Structure 1
Amino acid sequence: MIRTMIVDDASLVRLALVDILDDAPGILVAAQAADGAEAVARAGTQHLDVVLMDVRMPRMDGIETTARLLALPDPPKVVMLTTFDLDQYVYDALAAGAVGFLLKDSDPAEIIRAVEVVADGQAMLHPSAARRLIEHCHHTTRGRTSAARSRLDRLTPRETDVLALLAEGTSNAEIAAGLGMRESTVKAHVSRILAALEVGNRVQAALYARDAGLTG
């Protein structure tokens, strides 16, 4: 069972998300919070697998809340929710360690899939907005590009191929199909890529790929 928490200052949004997730087998809405401070307090008292997090909230916004949740001993995966597809705040949260990004008007099936995917250790970025978000907000410097390329030099050619597809938001299954390998092999490659780049999740690895010029 995937234990989730919904964090949003709009009660109607929380209720809508509860209705969506309650209909999904294998997902339990274990907690709700109206702002970041309440979310941190609730997360500290129970185990949570995935948090659906609003970006703009009173008292404590989604960025600070994400940082505090990720500092917990057994942190949940964080999926950011926003009404804006080019939101600097969302980018900051992803760079800080959130592993998902969805628009609030996403289809219910996509929201359910996001919870399932990130609980399985993968990233979930809204397909129509993820690339625009990174290109709009992530301006690389010459030094950052050099550092990213240096880290990518640690990868084997096959791992570089996997990273290039991963950076486009491709799932493990899609990478496996595209490169003609088993999904378990892809998972092993991804684990080695994260270790070599010294990052904690696929989103941060994708940003390194972008910095190094591996993706367009």
Structure 2
Amino acid sequence: MIVDDHELFAESLELALNMEGYGVRRVPTASTTPVALLAGVARYQPRVVLLDLDLGSLGDGTRLINPIARTGSNVVVVTGSYEESEWGHCIKRGARKVIPKTHPLNEILSVTRRICQGLPVMDAAERERLIGVWSEHRRVAEDLRGRLDRLTPREAEVLGWLVEGHQVREIARESVVSEATVRTQVKRILRKLEVTSQLAAVGLARQAGWSPNVRHKAN
């Protein structure tokens, strides 16, 4: 089974698998739901599910890995992402292998063939390395979110302005406060985030995927 919203890639993969003699079912992600997809996996019981992570209207494919794997299907993630922490997350959730979409189709065919033959497709050392990368990434992200949670609502608002590229004088003008007040707030932000510059504070917020609800003053 192929679950991928990139139609041209999915069609190419389907053709290659058909030529290898596999029976292939391609899921039209634009016209299905996660519940319907999982029901289809349970009904057809594919030996291998080739799963993309960016599934458009279906959202993040990572959350489908574990439910699919629990049906007994082998999940192989085929993705455009090169983030090893994301790969490790997929392996942790039950994927047998992660393959970048830029790799040759023959690699996907080879992995599919090995799984169907009951052969391993990833050694234990590589599995543990990728899961370790994901674990460290999660630890760092939790630490960053913990620092951001220290901010007061006003400090979070000011940080939001900084993330959007506004200068202190602009924040002061829009907030109807003095520049000195905003600079004091910025200093508190830097101290709580354990950084030494506004640029570092913005970088930390972006690294953590932080997206505050900044309320701009109406003109």
Provide the TM-score with structure 1 as the length reference. 0.52
Pick the structure with greater CA Rg.
2
Distance in 2, matches of 1:103 and 1:134, equals: 17
After superposition, the CA RMSD in angstroms is 2.9
Offset, 1:134: 4.8
1:95 is the counterpart of 2:108: no
From 101, 104, 122, give the equivalent of 1:104.
101
Cα distance per residue 1:58-117 (max 9 Å; x no partner): 334222111111232xx2100001112224333212111111111112212211111011
Offset, 1:30: 3.0
Instruction: Report if the CA contact (8 A) 2:86-2:134 is conserved.
Output: no
Letter in 2 for 1:97: G
- Cα 1:131/1:44, change in 2 over 3 Å: closer
Offset, 1:133: 4.3
- Cα 1:131/1:19, change in 2 over 3 Å: farther
Distance in 2, matches of 1:85 and 1:36, equals: 26
Distance in 2, matches of 1:60 and 1:68, equals: 15
Match of 1:137 in 2: 134
- Cα 1:28/1:110, change in 2 over 3 Å: same
Offset, 1:36: 6.5
Q: Write out the 4+ residue segments of structure 1 that deviate beyond 6 Å after TM superposition.
A: 129-132
From 16, 35, 39, give the equivalent of 1:41.
39
Letter in 2 for 1:106: H
Mapping for residues 174-185 of structure 1, pairs under 5 Å = none
Match of 2:16 in 1: 20
Instruction: Report if the CA contact (8 A) 2:92-2:131 is conserved.
Output: no
Instruction: Report if the CA contact (8 A) 2:48-2:76 is conserved.
Output: yes
Mapping for residues 115-130 of structure 1, pairs under 5 Å = 115-125=112-122
Distance in 1, matches of 2:74 and 2:39, equals: 16
Distance in 2, matches of 1:100 and 1:110, equals: 11
Instruction: Report if the CA contact (8 A) 1:88-1:137 is conserved.
Output: yes
- Cα 1:39/1:122, change in 2 over 3 Å: farther
Provide the TM-score with structure 2 as the length reference. 0.51
- The answer for unaligned runs of 5 or more in structure 2 is 138-219
- The answer for unaligned runs of 5 or more in structure 1 is 141-216
Instruction: Report if the CA contact (8 A) 1:62-1:93 is conserved.
Output: no
Higher strand share: 1
- Aligned-residue sequence identity (percent) comes to 21
Distance in 2, matches of 1:125 and 1:49, equals: 17
Mapping for residues 1-216 of structure 1, pairs under 5 Å = 5-25=1-21, 27-34=22-29, 37=34, 38-57=36-55, 58-72=57-71, 75-125=72-122, 133-134=130-131, 136-139=133-136
Offset, 1:42: 1.6
- Cα 1:43/1:55, change in 2 over 3 Å: same
Instruction: Report if the CA contact (8 A) 1:91-1:133 is conserved.
Output: yes
Instruction: Report if the CA contact (8 A) 1:31-1:42 is conserved.
Output: no
Letter in 1 for 2:43: T
Instruction: Report if the CA contact (8 A) 2:88-2:132 is conserved.
Output: no
